[in-house]
Every structure is written in structure tokens, then in C-alpha cells.
């Protein structure tokens, strides 16, 4: 099928990168880029055609046929378009960023395979196809997060990510088994129109937890900041358009089922809690990429809030526009770190006012992420707020939006100060940054601006109603953003402070990741104790069975001596037996 063929160039490029030797690093880059552009072209051709759902039989078991189903429905095409656009931009950025020849083959193999897995997941029309893409995403993200395996923290971050994701994978597999037993089909469209059953409710709860693990929702959100140990292009790709959005996309596809089974309140509650945790941790974090990671947690939480409010349109609008401003800011952070000898503490970065074009792109990204009108981020965030019908939910969303603009401009303002703590004389030359990195940054800055057009055209394409924006709502969002910028300017520029929080207790409440990491550690320790207890029980059972078996063997050995082949011995045994019987009868 043509839709499935879109992943073929990326898979081919991945294995070519794996097979090439170190002397062909230039060819590896451009093969990967050409493959990504070919996939983008094929996705564009698919988008010009009608929405279809096609399948072919993969294998048969008894009277049942199992196949792969590819869908080009509007939701699938939106996700496919996002991945197809971001893949070449990430590769172009990587050409300038990844300068170690010995790592080129492995890097482009993993990156292309990662993109192919996400494209396969995006076009899935059934649980079986989705599961293949879902599993490949976990494996490739593990490889990319732990790419710098010689660093101590990178393998640990990769293990943490894959552990959280594998919890969801197991639950997803359990859910798929339940779905098959209930309906004998894996196709989404057939399942969505089915009758309400108790087993399906259990399956949906399992799917929901699996989606929370993949999209870093409470209480599984802490693997995402640690994933910053991977290369910056991977961070930009991961946080903007790939694995972290897989859970959001899957829930959006199955939202009619969650509505029918009255589970939207879970989406709303978990989404709001996750968004709040992302905001408070971002306000206290000092790592330039981890601040953006916590903002991704906030964005994903808001997407689940929109889905919990039964607004697929608001969730998909934010999912689309977040792609551009988040990738822009991650790539800008990578450029700043590269110009500052890989320094990642925003309080130690030298002023980057010398990079005027880069600064302009960063300002666009920051304004869009904060939700400033008329940039694309505004329409993404105000759409979620407009979907809220409850005043309490709306108030919480406004507070989150206000705090979001504070940490966003704290991220921007602190390196702008002239009093960086880096050693004097450190030369920061932004003109020497590779041109390919800047091409991707400038392209994303343009997309962050023109992405506002999606507010006009996306509802008609997806076929969902857009929540109406009111003058009061627009004014409230704009006022919250401006107020947040003013607070950030006051504390981070005028007062020359790197932190908005001075009290230790308040700081501990805000920067609360140690609580969740401690919870993970305690859970792991409890599981280890439980497994040790089971292992001890298993060993004792083995000892008992072994002693019993040895006793039987010993008794058998004694009996074996009786049968010695001598008639006299048999006659004596017979007489003794008769005597024993007579004595028993007499008694």
C-alpha cells in the first residue's frame, strides 16, 4: 500500500547508515536527508488523495486472519504530516550539530528508524499495526536517549525511560488481548461503533495508563526531563512530534469510546495535575533543556485536559502548533549550548545578544510558547481554555498560563544579562555556528508564525468544531501572558536573580521531582524485596521436592534389593507374609 510505503525510505536509510563505514560519513547524512524528503513527498501525495482505510492479511491462525491496516483519515494524516515535516528539519539540524564522524552511522540509523516507527504508528488503523509502531518507538527512543553511552547519566536516563514505557507496553498488550476476546477484531473503526461491555471498560483503563506512560503524564512524567541526556536534535524531535505525543494521539483516536464509558474525567484530572507539575518544576529548574522538558510535560497535560473536555479540535490544535515552537526552542537551546562549550546552566551562559538572528527566532518561540497573540501558540492554548465549561477548570488553566509565561521568559531573560558567571574572556561566536543548524531554526520560526493559519483551516480538515473565542477570553489570555513577562523581567532582569523562589521550603514544593524519583526508587525496592521473597519461596519448594524425591528413590533402592532372583529368599518372604496376615487376622 502507498501509505505504508512512506516509511520504506526511512527504513532503507537506517540500514544503509548501519552498514556504511566511518569513511562515508558525508554520504550517510545526505542519504538520511534524501530518504526523509522522499517520505515527506509521499505523505504529501497521500494527503492530496481521499481518506482511505486499507489492509492486507499478514498471517492467519485457524479461521482468523490478522493484518496490517493503514488509515489516511484526517487525524492520521495530521500526525503523519507533523512527523514527515519534522524529520528532514531534524536531520538538517543534525548535519551541523553531530560533528563526530565515528558516531554518524549509529546516529542516523537510530534517528531514521525512530522516524519510521512514528510514521507507522501515525497511519495505524488497527491495534496490531499500532502495537508494532508503539513497540518500535520505545526501543528506538531508548537507543537515542542513551546515545552518549559513555556518559554516566545517559544509560541511566535511557533505562528509566524504557522502564516507564515498558509498563505501558505490557498494559497495552493486555488491553489488546481483551479487545480481541470481546470483538474478534483489531480495527479501530469497528471497535468504536461497538456496544458497551464490561471487558472493554477494563481494556480502556489499561490503554489509558499505557498512554500516560508514553506521554509522560502523572505519575510517570519524570522520565521525560532525564531524557535530555540524549543529543539535542533527538530532544527536539522527541518533544515536538514523536513518542511523547503517541499517547495523546491514541486517546484522541479512541475518544468516542472514552466518552461512552464515562472516563473523560480521568483525562481531565490527570492532565491538569500533570500540567501544574510541569509548570512548578520549570519555574525552579536551571538546566536550559530541562526547563523546556517540563514545559513539554505541561503542554501534554493541556492536551489531555482538552481531550477530557471532549474537545479533540483543541487538543489537535495544540498538538500541531506545539510542534513548531517546541522544536524551535530546543534547537535554539542546542545552538546556545554549542556556542557556550556545552554549558547547560542558564545562570552560567554568556549573553547571546551577539546572535541577533538567533535571538529573534528565540523570542518568536518564547512568545508562541507563552501564548502571545497572534502567534500559533496563542491559538493552541486559548483553544484549550475556551473548551472549559467549568469556571474552576478555566481559572486553573489561566493560572497555569500565567505561570507558563513566567518560566518561559525566565528561560529567555537570564542568559541575556551581562553578568553571566562564565569565565571572562570566553569567546561566544554565533557566526561560527553551522549554517544547517540555523536553517532549521529559521524555518521553524517561520512555521511558528504561519502556524496560526491552522486555527482557520484545521477544523474544516479534521471535521471537528472549534471552540469559539470570545473577546473576554482573548483579553484574559493576553493579560496573563503580559503579566507573566513582567514578573519574569522584574525578577530575572532588573533584580539580577536566577531564581524566582528564595525560600527553601517553597523551592522544595516547586522543584518536587525528588519526591517522584524517590517514589520510583521505593517502588523498585519493594518489587525487588517481593521478587526476592518469591525466589526464596521457590527455592524452599525446590528443596522440599528434592528431599521428597530422594526419599522415594532411597525407598525404591531398598525394595530393589528384595528382588534378588533367589527362590529361597522368595519362599522366606512368602512365609513371613503369611505369618503377618495370620497375626493380623488373629488380632
- State pLDDT tens for residues 279-319: 988 888 888 899 999 999 999 999 999 999 999 999 999 99
For residue 439, is it left (φ>0), alpha (ψ between -120 and 50) or beta? alpha
Q: Quick one: DSSP state of residue 500? A: S
Residues 6+ apart with CB under 8 A from 294: 225, 278, 279, 281, 282, 285, 407
- State pLDDT tens for residues 523-570: 889 999 999 999 999 999 999 999 999 999 998 888 787 777 788 888
How much of the chain, in percent, has pLDDT values that exceed 70?
92
Distance, in Å, from the CA atom of 155 to the CA atom of 227, rounded to the nearest integer, reads 10
Exposed/middle/buried for 488, CB within 10 Å: 0-12, 13-18, 19+?
A: buried
- Three-state DSSP at 58 gives strand
Q: Band of the pLDDT at 320, cuts 50, 70, 90? A: very high
Give residue 502's pLDDT: 56
- For the chain, the structural domain boundaries read 2-163+311-518, 522-586
Give residue 415's pLDDT: 76
User: Which H helix or E strand runs over 66?
Assistant: strand 64-71
Instruction: Tell me which of 99-103, 386-390, 469-473, 552-556 is least confident.
Output: 99-103
Give residue 417's pLDDT: 67
Q: Are 130 and 121 in contact (CB under 8 A)?
A: yes
Q: Does 17 or 175 have the greater pLDDT score?
A: 175
CA dihedral of 168, 192, 72, 138, whole degrees rounded to 10: 0
Q: Does 481 or 62 have the greater pLDDT score?
A: 481
Give residue 507's pLDDT: 63
- State pLDDT tens for residues 322-352: 999 999 999 998 888 887 777 888 877 765 5
Greatest C-alpha distance within the chain: 116
CA dihedral of 253, 259, 263, 267, whole degrees rounded to 10: 50
Taking the CA of residue 152 as centre, how many other CA atoms within 13 Å lie in the half-sphere pointing to its CB? 0
- State pLDDT tens for residues 474-526: 999 999 999 999 988 888 776 655 556 655 656 666 777 777 778 888 888 99
- State pLDDT tens for residues 203-240: 999 999 999 999 989 889 889 999 998 899 999 998 88
CA dihedral of 51, 57, 58, 64, whole degrees rounded to 10: 120
Q: Band of the pLDDT at 60, cuts 50, 70, 90? A: confident
Q: Does 392 or 433 have the greater pLDDT score?
A: 392
Tell me the average pLDDT of the chain. 87
Three-class SS of 364-424: HHHHHHHCCCCCHHHHHHHHHHHHCCCHHHHHHHHHHHHHHHHHHHHHHHHHHCCCCCCCC
Query: What's the first-to-final CA gap in the chain, in angstroms?
Result: 89
Give residue 392's pLDDT: 92
Give residue 256's pLDDT: 93
pTM (two decimals): 0.87
Average pLDDT over residues 403-428: 70
Distance, in Å, from the CA atom of 75 to the CA atom of 69, rounded to the nearest integer, reads 15
Is the per-residue pLDDT at 22 higher than 80? no
Question: Rg of the chain over CA atoms, in angstroms?
Answer: 30
Give residue 509's pLDDT: 65
Q: Are 80 and 120 in contact (CB under 8 A)?
A: no
How much of the chain, in percent, has pLDDT values that exceed 90?
49
Q: Are 459 and 466 in contact (CB under 8 A)?
A: yes
Is the per-residue pLDDT at 426 higher than 50? no
For residue 121, CA distances in Å to 134, 249, 514 come to: 6, 10, 33
Amino acid at each position: 500500500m502507498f501509505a505504508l510505503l512512506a516509511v520504506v525510505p526511512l527504513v532503507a536509510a537506517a540500514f544503509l547508515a548501519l552498514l556504511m563505514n566511518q569513511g562515508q560519513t558525508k554520504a550517510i547524512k545526505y542519504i538520511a536527508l534524501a530518504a526523509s524528503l522522499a517520505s515527506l513527498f509521499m505523505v504529501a501525495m497521500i494527503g492530496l488523495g481521499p481518506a482511505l482505510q486499507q489492509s492486507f492479511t499478514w498471517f492467519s491462525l485457524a479461521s482468523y486472519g490478522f493484518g496490517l491496516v493503514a488509515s489516511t483519515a484526517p487525524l492520521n494524516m495530521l500526525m503523519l504530516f507533523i512527523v514527515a515535516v519534522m524529520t528532514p528539519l531534524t536531520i538538517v539540524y543534525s548535519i551541523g550539530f553531530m560533528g563526530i564522524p565515528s558516531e554518524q552511522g549509529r546516529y542516523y540509523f537510530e534517528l531514521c528508524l525512530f522516524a519510521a516507527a512514528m510514521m507507522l504508528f501515525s497511519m495505524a488503523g488497527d491495534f496490531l499495526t499500532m502495537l508494532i509502531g508503539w513497540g518500535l518507538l520505545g526501543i528506538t527512543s531508548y537507543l537515542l536517549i542513551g546515545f552518549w553511552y559513555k556518559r554516566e547519566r545517559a544509560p541511566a536516563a535511557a533505562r528509566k525511560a524504557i522502564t516507564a514505557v515498558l509498563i505501558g507496553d505490557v498494559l497495552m498488550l493486555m488491553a489488546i488481548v481483551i479487545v480481541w476476546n470481546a470483538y474478534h477484531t483489531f480495527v479501530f473503526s469497528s471497535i468504536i461503533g461497538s456496544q458497551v461491555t464490561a471487558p472493554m471498560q477494563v481494556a480502556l483503563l489499561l490503554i489509558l495508563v499505557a498512554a500516560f506512560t508514553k506521554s509522560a503524564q502523572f505519575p510517570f512524567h519524570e522520565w521525560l526531563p532525564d531524557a535530555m541526556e540524549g543529543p539535542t536534535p533527538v530532544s527536539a524531535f522527541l518533544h515536538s512530534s514523536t513518542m511523547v505525543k503517541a499517547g495523546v494521539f491514541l486517546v484522541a483516536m479512541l475518544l468516542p469510546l472514552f466518552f461512552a464509558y464515562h472516563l473523560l474525567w480521568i483525562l481531565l484530572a490527570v492532565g491538569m495535575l500533570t500540567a501544574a507539575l510541569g509548570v512548578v518544576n520549570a519555574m525552579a529548574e536551571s538546566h536550559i533543556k530541562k526547563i523546556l522538558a517540563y514545559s513539554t510535560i505541561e503542554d501534554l497535560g493541556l492536551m489531555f485536559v482538552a481531550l477530557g473536555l471532549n474537545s479533540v479540535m483543541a487538543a489537535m490544535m495544540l498538538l500541531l502548533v506545539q510542534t513548531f515552537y517546541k522544536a524551535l526552542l530546543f534547537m535554539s537551546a542546542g545552538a546556545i549550548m554549542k556556542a557556550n562549550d556545552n554549558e547547560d546552566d542558564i545562570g552560567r551562559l554568556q549573553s547571546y545578544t551577539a546572535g541577533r538572528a538567533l535571538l529573534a527566532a528565540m523570542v518568536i518561540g518564547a512568545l508562541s510558547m507563552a501564548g502571545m497573540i497572534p502567534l500559533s501558540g496563542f491559538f493552541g492554548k486559548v483553544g484549550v481554555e475556551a473548551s472549559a465549561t467549568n469556571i474552576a477548570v478555566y481559572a486553573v488553566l489561566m493560572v497555569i498560563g500565567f505561570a507558563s509565561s513566567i518560566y518561559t521568559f525566565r528561560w529567555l531573560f537570564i542568559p541575556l544579562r551581562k553578568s553571566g558567571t562564565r569565565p571572562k574572556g570566553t569567546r561566544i561566536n554565533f557566526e561560527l555556528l553551522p549554517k544547517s543548524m540555523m536553517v532549521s531554526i529559521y524555518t521553524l520560526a517561520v512555521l511558528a508564525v504561519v502556524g496560526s493559519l491552522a486555527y482557520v483551516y484545521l477544523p474544516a480538515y479534521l471535521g471537528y468544531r472549534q471552540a469559539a473565542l470570545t473577546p473576554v477570553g482573548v483579553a484574559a489570555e493576553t493579560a496573563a501572558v503580559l503579566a507573566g513577562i513582567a514578573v519574569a523581567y522584574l525578577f530575572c532582569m532588573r533584580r539580577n536573580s536566577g531564581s524566582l523562589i528564595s525560600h527553601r521550603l517553597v523551592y522544595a514544593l516547586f522543584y518536587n521531582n525528588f519526591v517522584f524519583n524517590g517514589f520510583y526508587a521505593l517502588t523498585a525496592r519493594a518489587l525487588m524485596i517481593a521478587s526476592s521473597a518469591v525466589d526464596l519461596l521457590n527455592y524452599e519448594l525446590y528443596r522440599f521436592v528434592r528431599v521428597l524425591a530422594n526419599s522415594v528413590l532411597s525407598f525404591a533402592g531398598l525394595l530393589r534389593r528384595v528382588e534378588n532372583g533367589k527362590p529361597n529368599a522368595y519362599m522366606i518372604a512368602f512365609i513371613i507374609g503369611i505369618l503377618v496376615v495370620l497375626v493380623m487376622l488373629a488380632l
